[in-house]
Amino acid sequence: MYYNRILIFSIIFFVAVFSTIYLGMHFSSNQVSSSCLECSYPKDVFFLSVFSLLIVPFILIILIKLGVKKKLFSWLVTLIYIMFVLFSSFNLFTDRISSWSSYSTQDALLATLFESYIYIIAGSIIIFFIFYKTHIFLVEKKNK
């Protein structure tokens, strides 16, 4: 039961990451990917988001085992969320836009932030409150 809750919250995290990247970088959906000419935009976003589903359960387990307090736990999960979204959005921008033009790394990062900051802020607030309000549900262990 304990690991089922970890899985549920990891899926919630995955959906939030996928939604934020999809909406934040949607302006690049008509561009062709430089790494895969036949890949669709939703497919690229999905595969970039799957990494969160592979890593977040372990991070949640570690944070729970360490006994991190509710507010710090929520902030850490939100920070991890922001890092996943920024990393994935930057990779998507690099693959679909900057690889076809002359963006520097700094320009690509700034363009990624500029295009998706509203979605990142909204998603961060949602993730923070989900994990803050349900912290006790996530960390409690019932031995039955």
pLDDT means over runs of 10, the chain (144 residues)? 82 93 80 69 85 89 87 93 91 77 80 88 94 79 48
Q: How many Å apart are CA 137 and CA 92, to the nearest integer?
A: 34
From residue 49, how far is each of 11, 15, 89, 102 by CA, in Å?
A: 11, 8, 10, 26
